[in-house]
Structure 1
Amino acid sequence: MLKSTRLFLPLLAALLAPVAAADTHSATDPRIDALLTQLGKVREIDEVALSPDGHQLAWVVETGGKPGIMLADAQGQHPRSIGLAAKPGTCSESGLAWAPDSRHLAFFSNCASARVGMGGSKQPDIYVLDTQGQGKPVHLSSLNGYAHSLSWAPDGKTLALLYVEGATRRASALAAAKPATGEIGVEGIEVQRVATVPAEGGVPQPVTPADSYVYEFSWAPDSKRVAYVAAPAPGDNNWWIAQLYVQDAQPNATRTALVDPHTVSGSLHGLQIALPRWSPDGSRIAFIGGLMSDQGSTGGDLYSVSAHGGAPVDLTPGIHVTPAWFSWSSPQSMLVNQVDNGQLQLAEYDVQADRAQQKRVLFTAPGYTGDGTALGALSLSADHSYVAFGQSSFDVAPEVYAGPIGSEMPKAVTALNADQKPSWGKARSVEWDNEGYHVQGWLLYPANYDPNKHYPMIVNVHGGPSAADIPHWPSVGYGAAPFSTLGYFVFMTNPRGSFGEGEAFVQANRKDFGYGDLRDTLAGVDAVEKMVPVDDHRLGLTGWSYGGFMSMFAPTQTQRFRAVVAGAGIANWQSYYGQNLIDQWMVPFFGASVYDDPAIYAKSSAINFIKKVKTPTLIVVGERDAECPAPQSFEYWHALRALGVPTSLVVYPNEGHHFYNPVNQRDVLQRALNWFEKYLPPGQ
């Protein structure tokens, strides 16, 4: 959610030491340590890539926190480790990209590198392996910076990638922000560009303009052009005003702006665009357009535009699902992975010039699916007859799935985490209606559930707000599912503003943060309490990012929650607007800048109603959060402390919006578990 950066170093330097030392730990429940140990044993699957001919399958799996590449046949048989690593877990290899010949596999590797890259780690380079030969991977190109999104041109003669030459950090607002020093917004700007490398190797050659930050790209079928979504630098701030461009895949080529959402008329006006994809005949480019709170959290309607320019066409107006990813299967058809009632389903669409209509649902996944290239992405054979992806659910830990595309869900072809069993309770989808909206959420039962007992319940609000809670296996770090292990009901809601009910539902909380979505959530709590024995006097609330904002705001509107854990939240939208360097995201949601309409920001600011808060609140945040800056957590904590409300603030050094340090990942979850055990003891 909400990308931002920080301008608060003097305040932080003065306060960080005593705050970081604050200890919320009570006597540690031995179940917490056992749970954290269990979650730490899961081997994460970062990427899955099916060869174009559908005969070979590669995936990236972590060993000891280091990603390595495995290769097998399409059924997952005869897996073997490839790459340069002498032993899994000793170095990092990722970024899978199959060549059109289905024989050569390109990837990034730092296993043979002696050069230091960003963050003091070894610099990855590009390698390619002949998967049908007996040799080792061949060095293709040396890099100096951050690179990702390797992609072969359809003719197999060129590789393209997104490249930040000389990068000092990941090109992501989830990563820790750069120190805010020097001339802000001028010095130290890092620009992500499309670069190309010949198939026989060479130096990366940037092809997109030096002052334009590229977020996504795709090759044209003729291998001569690229389409991409880009905005002026700096990149963290301007994704919300990005445009769709086309140009030749050559340096200094003239580019054509195809779509500018801020000048077009119709349903796309003022919204965001993502996932540009050429039609197989090269005549048009499709993309997803909608109200999106983060680059990478994709959802909206399907649009198309002529590759030569013109007005974009909304192909799916009024649908009640949210397309998150798609692939052209012919000039008249697409495969679409869409969110529907909190689940991902793969559907086939017929595509005409002005309309795309769902033909049939191929399968609905029991959990979150993805191939590592984009949220909800799938890896397909060139003829779209075979599919592969990684998946996990509340019931099954991450595995690779693959199989023919048909009416059934593909089967798991790996057993990397077969020994992992859930220590939490069963999951159930809950649906209800509120104020004319259909709403859905996920309910986890307490472990060892006894229907004759009454239990406390923790309500979790997801980040975004343009996102959705979809079943997935939890990892070490902050999340909702582990609370079930300790004897809580856990209720994960998808209120208005979420993906899964259509674009009108996503836009229903514009200029209304914390009101309609809170009423939807409270109505869901009422629905759950009619179904299962929840003790209404032992309700907790938590969330991260937008969920952190809701965890701060809800106690100003209701006394129903008796304990709160607010992760990376927003306490004051007015001060937040001036603290961050990514104010572009806010106008689509609030309708105007804070300077033009301060009242709409004040309306949803918890700090303006802070005297109503009585709820004990634990607040946690990364010191260098580039999305929800730490001063927001300081402001809320300061107010609660002044008002005598039990509170604790923990700031994690050198962490951004997503925590990467395993020690901190473990600590933040343990503190949250202890906080709820203290104020909402489950054993009553």
Structure 2
Amino acid sequence: MLKPARLLLPLLTALLAPIAAADTHTATTDPRIESLLTQLDKVRDISGVALSPDGRQLAWVVDTNDKPGIMLADANGQHAHSIGLATSPGTCSEDGLAWAPDSRHLAFLSNCDSTHASMGGKQPDIYVLDTQSHDKPVRISNLSGYVHALSWAPDGKSLAFLYVEGATRRASALAAAKPLVGEVGVEGIEVQRVATLPAKGGALQLVTPADSYVYEFSWAPDSQRLAYVAAPPPGDNNWWIAQLYVQTAQAGASRTAVVDPRTVTGPLHGLQIAVPRWSPDGSRIAFIGGLMSDQGATGGDLYSVASSGGAPVDLTPGIHVTPAWFSWSTPQSMLVSQVSSGKMQVAEYAVEANHAQQQRVLFTAPGSIGDGTAEAALSLSADHHQIAFAQSSFDVAPEVYAGSVDAQMPAAVTSINAGLKPSWGKAQSVEWTNEGFHVQGWLLYPANYDPHKRYPMIVYIHGGPSSAVVPHWPSGGYGAAPFSSLGYFVFMTNPRGSFGEGETFVQANRKDFGYGDLRDTLTGIDAVEKLAPVDDHRLGLTGWSYGGFMSMFVPTQTQRFRAVVAGAGIANWQSYYGQNLIDQWMIPFFGASVYDDPGVYAKSSAINFIKKVKTPTLIVVGERDAECPAPQSFEYWHALRALGVPTSLVVYPNEGHHFYNPAHQRDVLQRALNWFEKYLPPQ
């Protein structure tokens, strides 16, 4: 299976040396590009928010010099001050907030006093701060590996967390894959398990089995049991077939398989599960179930199952929104974060044994929200009366928001990025109907928009496909908003397959990649051209991951686009099946393996229609991308070059599906801006 990748190694080796040298030296033809990139570098990311259970204290994690540090304040943001072990902000990393039930002790991760290395950096350990004393934080662990997801037991006596002992990389399919050497699939397998520590320090316990890779977990109200989502290793590949388990929080304890989506009957069959949460009385476990293409990009219906096992019940069949996160408020109610037509809502649901009904939308946020622990997660006081989260939009850079749950929209309590103003144009939600589906997208106007001029437009297609474009301030990755700064309309679509219109809409592109979702997007372009002065002869196309696939496939189906930038794309689903390290994700979407139904893979493979492509295409990818391997980009680039289509391929050394090196993040965007300016110049 890995022979195609190995055959490319000599070519990769030859290419990577000049690419590494050119990472930060790409020629910039427009001084506005350098100014824009400098502005984007100024945003300070807020990666974690935690409200104390009594609702009186608020902590958050904010970057300084690309290093996360912790601030502690009153719940209204007043009296904010740095905590932890850093001698000054930006000198080391501290994050991973978790409040104890007593609202006095705050656990976090710090590598500021580390004396040994892990994964190429300093090893973080777990510290606990008594916020009502003047004592320094106390280290309670001595770890060697990857640690995250700290969570206190409800009785406050111990901490649980996800831990990869001896890890060599982040536990994520987005991270750069390990070099494929030795006996592939056997040697060097790393397993993420739930570990526990006494709150005052002591012996670490690896609670879950060594042959089970855990993705997320939840404490039972009695502090004796855990619910967790897990699958056999390798973890990067098997999240799509993970099961829900319940186990006593002790090493060696037996466990109960509560839900196996592969064997259940009903709407959950063959789908994915995430966000397990015990009901307050411990009798049930609720979770989100749906067709999900990526761990962490959660969306689906709300389900419930007895904590002892049984048939899971879809509590929200037929809804036209997509729940992404929830928390039980009482045994009869939940607070739910959900995507609704490209917007984030926080809603209250009434819960019965077999049904959950939305009672009211508490507020619709103007942008993306989250507390850093999970997709769209909220930090809540124990009584669910107070709420806190980080938020950003196209108009406002990230800040911490906090206040009453009953408020229309909590107010910002920080001014971390208050001086930043968008250099791009205004945003507008666009909605249209196609083939019986309600579809939505976001349109960014060009900076300094003149209604008397006609403008080129770049169409941006999101990854997934099970995901959605929700307004957010651009930072740290490839995105759409910067193109608006240079005089383009930018249209970000949420076609079928996206979250925000209900599970039927999400599942509408099964076995149909690149067809129905393209028709939705083309119809959306027609709708935009009726309301804005877009020049249909100057359309560009771009995207990353699934959006990268679409950027490769769409030019085989239509000549409407005049320039393309394809990020981490897929040219050939048949060869891809044997190259990627996450093939389990494909069967829920294609209905069978490539060996059982090669035709369904062939019909969506750009390489099978490659002679129809005439569009100049820039292709970018990470050298060690496990999700969309570099050979896919080579295959597409090789074909375009052979056909005489203007093309360029850039492979970034040591990067995975998500680029972590800031210089590489900057270089990708700079190259894309230059590419569109060359082939799709604003006038």
Give the TM bin, normalised by the shorter chain: over 0.9
Partner of 1:248: 248
Task: Report the 3-state secondary structure (helix = DSSP H, G, I; strand = E; otherwise coil) of the residue aligned with 1:310.
Answer: coil
Partner of 2:658: 658
Partner of 1:62: 63
Task: Report the 3-state secondary structure (helix = DSSP H, G, I; strand = E; otherwise coil) of the residue aligned with 2:109.
Answer: strand
Residues 454/193 of structure 1: CA separation in 2 closer, same or farther (3 Å cut): same
Amino acid of the residue matched to residue 46 of structure 2?
I
Partner of 2:320: 320
Kept in 2: contact 1:19–1:649 (CA 8 A): no
Q: Does 1:551 align with 2:551?
A: yes
> Displacement, 1:118?
1.2
- In structure 2, stretches of 5+ residues that fail to align are none
CA distance, structure 2, for counterparts of residue 351 and residue 213 of structure 1: 31
Amino acid of the residue matched to residue 38 of structure 1?
Q
1:431-474 C-alpha deviation (Å, 9 max, x unpaired):
00000000000000000000000000000000000000000000
Amino acid of the residue matched to residue 39 of structure 1?
L
Kept in 2: contact 1:572–1:606 (CA 8 A): yes
CA distance, structure 2, for counterparts of residue 561 and residue 20 of structure 1: 33
> Displacement, 1:581?
2.5
Partner of 1:618: 618
CA distance, structure 1, for counterparts of residue 410 and residue 118 of structure 2: 39
Partner of 1:332: 332
> Displacement, 1:19?
6.3
Partner of 1:421: 421
Partner of 1:112: 113
Partner of 1:15: 12
1:395-443 C-alpha deviation (Å, 9 max, x unpaired):
0000000000114100000000011000000000000000000000000
Partner of 2:387: 387
Partner of 2:628: 628
> Displacement, 1:116?
1.0
Q: CA RMSD in A?
A: 1.3
Amino acid of the residue matched to residue 110 of structure 2?
S
> Displacement, 1:26?
5.5
Partner of 1:209: 209
> Displacement, 1:476?
4.1
CA distance, structure 2, for counterparts of residue 260 and residue 219 of structure 1: 20
Greater mean alpha carbon deviation, residues 398-407 or residues 163-172? 398-407
Amino acid of the residue matched to residue 165 of structure 1?
E
Partner of 1:72: 73
CA distance, structure 1, for counterparts of residue 60 and residue 520 of structure 2: 40
Please show how residues 125-274 of structure 1 align to structure 2 within 5 Å.
125-274=125-274
CA distance, structure 2, for counterparts of residue 149 and residue 471 of structure 1: 26
> Displacement, 1:15?
3.3
Kept in 2: contact 1:497–1:507 (CA 8 A): yes
Structure with more contact order per residue of length (Cα contacts < 8 Å, sep ≥ 6):
1
1:299-328 C-alpha deviation (Å, 9 max, x unpaired):
000000001111000000000000000000
Partner of 1:457: 457
Amino acid of the residue matched to residue 672 of structure 1?
A
Task: Report the 3-state secondary structure (helix = DSSP H, G, I; strand = E; otherwise coil) of the residue aligned with 2:276.
Answer: strand
Kept in 1: contact 2:174–2:658 (CA 8 A): yes
CA distance, structure 2, for counterparts of residue 142 and residue 436 of structure 1: 57
Please show how residues 175-574 of structure 1 align to structure 2 within 5 Å.
175-574=175-574
Kept in 1: contact 2:302–2:323 (CA 8 A): yes
CA distance, structure 1, for counterparts of residue 574 and residue 381 of structure 2: 49
Task: Report the 3-state secondary structure (helix = DSSP H, G, I; strand = E; otherwise coil) of the residue aligned with 1:49.
Answer: strand
> Displacement, 1:582?
1.7
Amino acid of the residue matched to residue 413 of structure 1?
V
> Displacement, 1:662?
1.1
> Displacement, 1:25?
5.3
> Displacement, 1:285?
0.1
> Displacement, 1:52?
0.3
Partner of 1:42: 43
Kept in 1: contact 2:640–2:646 (CA 8 A): yes
Partner of 2:29: 28
CA distance, structure 2, for counterparts of residue 526 and residue 39 of structure 1: 31
Task: Report the 3-state secondary structure (helix = DSSP H, G, I; strand = E; otherwise coil) of the residue aligned with 1:141.
Answer: coil
Task: Report the 3-state secondary structure (helix = DSSP H, G, I; strand = E; otherwise coil) of the residue aligned with 1:581.
Answer: coil
CA distance, structure 1, for counterparts of residue 572 and residue 292 of structure 2: 21
> Displacement, 1:21?
3.5
1:186-225 C-alpha deviation (Å, 9 max, x unpaired):
1000000000000110232100000000000000000000
Kept in 1: contact 2:46–2:398 (CA 8 A): yes
1:154-176 C-alpha deviation (Å, 9 max, x unpaired):
00001000000000000001110
> Displacement, 1:8?
1.8
Kept in 2: contact 1:20–1:650 (CA 8 A): no
Q: What number of residue pairs does the alignment pair up?
A: 679
Task: Report the 3-state secondary structure (helix = DSSP H, G, I; strand = E; otherwise coil) of the residue aligned with 1:8.
Answer: helix
1:572-627 C-alpha deviation (Å, 9 max, x unpaired):
00000011232111000000000000000000000000000000000000000111
Residues 308/34 of structure 1: CA separation in 2 closer, same or farther (3 Å cut): same
TM-score, normalised to structure 2's length?
0.98
> Displacement, 1:18?
3.2
Kept in 2: contact 1:51–1:381 (CA 8 A): yes
Amino acid of the residue matched to residue 656 of structure 2?
G
Task: Report the 3-state secondary structure (helix = DSSP H, G, I; strand = E; otherwise coil) of the residue aligned with 2:89.
Answer: coil
